[in-house]
Amino acid sequence: MSNATDSLYAAWKKIYPRYQLGFFRHLRSVLYTVELVIFFFLPFLRWERPGGLPNQAVLFDLPARKFYIFDLMIWPQDIFLLAFLLIAAALGLFFITALGGRVFCGYMCIQTVWTDLLLHVELFFEGNRKQRIKLDQAPWSGKKWLTKIGKHAVWLLLCAATGVAFVSYFMDAPTFWQQLLAGTLPTPALFTIAFLTVTTYLMAGFAREQVCIYMCPYARFQGAMFDEDTMIVAYHPEIGEPRESNRRIRTAQREQGEKVGECIDCEACVTVCPTGIDIRNGQQYECITCAACIDACDSVRERLNASRRTLICYTSLREMRGGKTRWLRARVYYYSLLLAIFLGGIAYYLNHHASVELTVIAQRQPMYILQSDGGIQNNFTVRVLNMTSSRQTYSLSVSGIADATLTVAAVSETNAQGHPVLTVDPGSVTPFTAYLRQPGQRVEPGSVPIHFTLTAQSVDGGTATYHSSFARP
């Protein structure tokens, strides 16, 4: 038996990805910039809402238990929409993966976006790959200390800005900034900012590819969504192999009629990879399809005036075997159909959900009141939830009981039919005390089911019905 002990874990080696310009680099930069601008500035976008409602375009008001998303106002009873939205997001991810592989990881994932942002800061302070390696290997000096401190200070500033922007979605942005500058922010807000600052600093600044390789579950189950027609970033060995970096040897081999691949083994594709893999080793789960290796390889081949054939490109396994990629196939149809069903269901509900909610609670102490004329009175607490963005006026009526009279405390206004008229502010729940009386000559023994109906005077106010009962001896 060997005395050598084999480690089950590979030692971590810091990756120094080289910054490489190219078509896909420009495409990613545009998408990353759009995502960052939306994230940081969306809380400051104003959106006029009548009736004294918040004028922040996107606001998740947890104390008031309301979510405002432009013209939408989401209430706690709509929480099931979150489950539908998560399912739709998963289906959308499956759909994108079936078509384009891990393009979400390379172009849209927040880990990738923030890692790239901090890498740009690192590039500014420490230079490109060779300069960064040389700086880390050099002994500590005043210049090295200033460079490292400057980089980490900007990192922390950006990470803190991330936490501040996130919390701005849950508080009115101007009020939030006033409290932040005055030092009067609530403790939960301060804790959230600190937590996001630290986690962003660690994940995007240090963990980087470790998050994609070991922590993200998507890298592990993505293979189940791949098939022969899924687009991947792949190296063409039939064009590049066998490799040879020495130009003289390559020329001599060609003159002797030997096969020489077009890959010169410059490893440009390896040095730009953010996860540190060699794409020439075949398909690997660490690949996030960012296409940095395509830009690197194309730039080298352009300088060498090589053939127009691409060594690394977006392709599919079927295409690499000489076939033609099938974009429309069964799983794509299934994912798109399910995604359309869930998104359609969410859209339908948001366009047709109730504008008002009515709750009626019968007061049980006492269950009924015997009047001097032999009539019976029941008292009810009526709660009206106005889920529109404007002030609404409703008429309240009761059916199911003969000759009953409905009155509401502190409400004297009635409509043409004699029904009490209730006024409710937008986005608020207003309780009313209602008295329902039945004259003695119409009283019969036993309780009777009744129906309260709330009808808005405006078209967008909606109607609501609540079933209750009228207690009698």
pLDDT tens string 344-403: 988 888 877 778 889 999 988 888 888 888 889 999 999 999 888 788 899 999 998 888
The verdict on 167 and 236 lying in the same domain is yes
Shared domain check, 429 and 403: yes
Q: Per mean pLDDT, which of 56-70, 181-195, 235-249 is the most reliable?
A: 181-195
204 and 64 both lie in a single domain: yes
DSSP per-residue codes, 426-464: TT-EEEEEEEEEE-GGG--SS-EEEEEEEEESSGGG-EE
Helices 129-137, 110-126: inter-axial angle, 10-degree rounding: 70
> b/e per residue, 239-278, with b = 16+ CB within 10 A?
ebbeebeeeeebeeeeeeeeebbbbbeeebbbbbbbbbbe
Q: Give mean pLDDT, residues 181-204.
A: 92
What single-letter amino acid sits at 46? R
The answer on 218 and 84 residing in a single domain is: yes
Residue that wins the pLDDT comparison between 20 and 72 = 20
Same domain, 297 and 438: no
Same structural domain, 104 and 124: yes
Q: Which of 337, 353, 369 is the last residue of a domain?
A: 353
CA 322 to CA 459: how far, in whole Å? 62
Write down the residue that tokens 């980087």 correspond to. Answer: 208
**pLDDT score recorded for residue 256:** 80
* CA nearest neighbour of 127 among 105, 111, 150, 110: 150
Q: Would you put residue 65 in left (φ > 0), alpha (ψ -120 to 50) or beta? A: left
Q: Read off the pTM.
A: 0.81
Q: Going by C-beta distance under 8 Å and a sequence separation of 6 or more, which residues neighbour residue 160?
A: 193, 197
Q: Are residues 93 and 35 in the same domain?
A: yes
Give the distance from CA 224 to its chain's centroid: 23
Tokens found for residue 401: 């009981």
Residue 7 included in any domain? no
- Kindly state whether residue 184 falls inside one of the protein's structural domains: yes
In the chain the first and final C-alpha atoms are separated, in Å, by: 93
What average pLDDT score do residues 47-55 get? 78
The rounded radius of gyration (Å) of the Cα atoms in the chain is 33
Q: Which pLDDT score is estimated for 337?
A: 93
Residue 105 clears pLDDT 50, i.e. is over it? yes
Q: What is the mean pLDDT of residues 181-205?
A: 92
Query: Phi-psi category of 455—alpha, beta or left, where left has phi over 0 and alpha has psi -120 to 50?
Result: beta
Mean pLDDT of the chain: 87
Residue carrying structure tokens 């076939």: 323
Shared domain check, 400 and 323: no
Least confident of 115-119, 204-208, 261-265, 376-380: 261-265
- Which of 308, 332, 353 is where one domain is finished? 353
106-125 confidence digits (pLDDT tens):
999 999 999 999 999 999 99
Domain membership of residue 320 (yes or no) is yes
- Which pLDDT score is estimated for 365? 84
- Residue 364, domain member (yes or no): yes
Q: Give pLDDT tens digits for 277-331.
A: 999 998 888 889 999 999 999 999 888 877 767 899 999 888 888 888 888 888 8
Q: Can you say how many angstroms the Cα of residue 258 is from the centroid of all Cα atoms in its chain?
A: 54
Domain at 424, CATH number: 2.60.40.10
- pLDDT exceeding 70 applies to what percent of the chain? 97
Reported as a pLDDT band with limits 50, 70 and 90, residue 7 is low
More confident residue, 306 or 336: 336
CA distances from 284 to 84, 216, 310, 386 (A): 32, 15, 20, 54
Total domains in the fold of the chain: 2
Of 326, 353, 380, which marks where a domain is finished?
353
Query: Which domain does 233 fall in, by range?
Result: 13-353
Instruction: Check residue 272 and give its pLDDT.
Output: 94
332 plus 378 within the same structural domain: no
Rounded Cα distance between 281 and 269, Å, is: 12
Q: Do 151 and 123 form a contact (C-beta atoms < 8 A)?
A: no
Residue 9 has a pLDDT of 63
DSSP 414: B
Which one, of 233, 250, 227, lies nearest residue 24 by Cα?
A: 233
Chain CA centroid to CA 469, Å = 45
